[in-house]
Amino acid sequence: MLSHSGEEFVYVLSGEIELHTQFYAPTRLHTGDSCYFDSTMGHALLKASEEDAEVLWVCSRIIEPLKDNGS
């Protein structure tokens, strides 16, 4: 499982996947399902059926706020 700073959103466009996380039981997601989680928790996505799965996977990371340079 991977972990890193930030947050993630997963939306299943087609097929079926299984989300494994460090602190929760595996969760099966079908077409139209989505999930949102803190990326610092260990996580992995696996294909959960013989059919290919297609997902929209959005990752963000936390960075320092922009600083005013006086201009």
Cα–Cα distance measured from residue 3 to residue 54, given in angstroms and rounded to the nearest whole number: 22
Task: Give me the pLDDT at residue 62, please.
Answer: 72
Confidence of residue 71 (pLDDT cuts 50, 70, 90): low
Confidence of residue 65 (pLDDT cuts 50, 70, 90): low
Confidence of residue 31 (pLDDT cuts 50, 70, 90): very high
* Single pTM value for the model: 0.80
Tokens read off for 51: 């059919």
For the segment 32-55, the average pLDDT, to the nearest whole number, is 95
